[in-house]
Amino acid sequence: MDEIYLLIIGAGKGGMNLLQMFNAMENVRILAVIDRNLHAPGIQLAKKMNIPVGNDWKKYCLNHHLDIILNVTGDNILREQLEKYKRAQTEIIDGRSTHFMWTLIEKCKEMQQYRKKYLATKRELEQYIREDQFIVGKSAQIQEVKELILKVAPTPTTVLLRGETGTGKEMVARAIHQASHLREKPFVTVNCTALTPSLMESELFGYKKGAFTGAEQDRKGLLEEADGGTVFLDEIGDMNLELQAKLLRFLQTGEIRPVGSSKIIFVKVRIIAATNRELEKAIENKQFRSDLFYRFNTFTIFIPPLRDRIGDVPYLAYHFLTKAEVKLNKRVNRIAGDALQLLSGYHWPGNVRELENVIERAVILTTGETILPEHLPLTMKDSEEAPENKENFKAVKSKVLEKYEKHTLLKYIDQAKGNISQAARLSGIPRRTFYRLMKKYGL
């Protein structure tokens, strides 16, 4: 079983007793013992046990994974500071009573159960993201994006997503959120271009009743609503400089002040930002703050345009076909080969979003179960780029059609509850052909 990581703050007699008790427990690791008095009895004992000691608890909150912080000092101000600096998943327990001891032991048990469940869920999520359930595609570029998602998701690090409009930046942000320990907390999207600067400030930070005309009641800002979760700031490059300064202060302190209020509110969220702009040029033109850029640029993921991963078009096309079938309640389950070739030969200036719209439109237009070239926009038929991708397209087309055939066979076998003759009848495929396809795919 994985270890529970503890930090003990307070090394007097009570802290020393806790140190002895938890050092003897299985699956519990004491990261450090902290006290302002480096001659305290608990500090001396920790040294003998080769457990790190010191007087700076902040570095452990900021730079280490902690499950539980034991505050044995009885200092309420310290408690408030710990709440401010701790990560979302860290529990703070304070007190010196017997009740405190039992609470602590129960918390350790709960934490071990949670850790076991979390690790199982984490493995499932990694598989989910790698297997096209969230970010669709097999190209080397998109596989790299998936790996970066899995690396940064468990951390509290601010992430910057860069890419053209329509490349799927919000989907990547959602994938990071879903692969993190915050997945059950809010995911709030903020479109930085949707409102005027003054309205955007009240939208982000909230406002008090009477703060401006029309403010008839108190309202929480989106940052406060997302407390404990993730905020996705879309098109951050279009935010005005004054609001950038306020956002930077929030990133540095975690503090917000609603418009018209004198009260400071502490909020803990993970920030993921996205832009289609060249922020370096915006900095040169004094349209974007360099200090805010460096704050966001800790971990950057570049989302490739669809034209640079054209081999993913068939996979995406069938993915969007399935979505459109459900949305429109219409049975369309195939894309003709020549239609797929047109899709793979197009340059996709609107990227993944444009492809999704094209597929939905085609599903609306078709009267059968197959998307044909005539259901696609004329611009695709006039594209001169199709021959360039012909060789690549054939290989991808073969793989996609095989995957689709196997999926369809399994669907009919499942519907027929394993009765192959019934499955063949449901599919409309001759039984002999159905058996041949089963043999081909090892079913």
Least confident range from 209-223, 258-272, 382-396: namely 382-396
Instruction: Inform me whether the pLDDT recorded for 362 exceeds 80.
Output: yes
Give pLDDT tens digits for 160-200. Answer: 999 999 999 999 999 999 888 888 899 999 999 877 887 88
Banded model confidence at residue 124, pLDDT cuts 50, 70, 90? low
How many helices (H) and strands (E) are present in the chain, helices listed first?
19, 16
Task: Work out the average pLDDT over 201-210.
Answer: 86
Rounded to a whole number of angstroms, the CA Rg of the chain reads 28
Q: In which region does residue 286 sit, left (phi positive, over 0), alpha (psi from -120 to 50) or beta (all else)?
A: left
Cβ-contact 164, 182 below 8 angstroms? no
Q: Containing H/E element for 245? A: helix 241-253
Q: Are strands 53-54 and 28-34 parallel, antiparallel or unpaired?
A: parallel
Q: What is the largest CA-CA distance in the chain?
A: 85
What percent of the chain lies above the pLDDT cut of 90? 32
Task: Work out the average pLDDT over 394-406.
Answer: 65
Banded model confidence at residue 253, pLDDT cuts 50, 70, 90? confident
Residue with the bigger pLDDT between 443 and 14: it is 14
Instruction: Round to whole Å and give the CA distance between 222 and 231.
Output: 8
Instruction: Round to whole Å and give the CA distance between 270 and 158.
Output: 6
Banded model confidence at residue 385, pLDDT cuts 50, 70, 90? very low
Give pLDDT tens digits for 66-86. Answer: 778 888 887 878 888 887 777
Task: Work out the average pLDDT over 236-253.
Answer: 91
- At residue 430, the 3 state secondary structure works out as coil
Task: Work out the average pLDDT over 238-253.
Answer: 91
Residue 33 confidence (pLDDT): 92
Banded model confidence at residue 384, pLDDT cuts 50, 70, 90? very low
Residue 72 confidence (pLDDT): 84
Q: In which region does residue 303 sit, left (phi positive, over 0), alpha (psi from -120 to 50) or beta (all else)?
A: beta
What mean pLDDT, rounded, does the chain reach? 82
For residue 302, the tally of other CB atoms under 10 A from its CB is 13
Residue 131 confidence (pLDDT): 56
| Sequence-separated (6 or more) residues with CB below 8 Å from residue 69 | 6, 7, 9, 57, 61, 82, 86, 90, 91, 92, 93
Global pTM reads 0.63
DSSP 112-180: HHHHHHHHHHHHHHHHHHHTTSSS---SHHHHHHHHHHHHHTTS---EEEE--TTS-HHHHHHHHHHTS
Residue 103 confidence (pLDDT): 57
Residue 127 confidence (pLDDT): 59
- At residue 27, the 3 state secondary structure works out as coil
Instruction: Inform me whether the pLDDT recorded for 295 exceeds 60.
Output: yes
Residue 428 confidence (pLDDT): 76
| Sequence-separated (6 or more) residues with CB below 8 Å from residue 198 | 212
Instruction: Round to whole Å and give the CA distance between 71 and 63.
Output: 18
Cβ-contact 146, 312 below 8 angstroms? no
Instruction: Round to whole Å and give the CA distance between 17 and 11.
Output: 9
Residue with the bigger pLDDT between 365 and 57: it is 365
Residue 134 confidence (pLDDT): 66
Residue with the bigger pLDDT between 423 and 47: it is 47
In the chain, what are the domains?
4-121 (3.40.50.720), 136-304 (3.40.50.300), 307-440 (1.10.8.60)
Structure tokens at 334: 């195939």
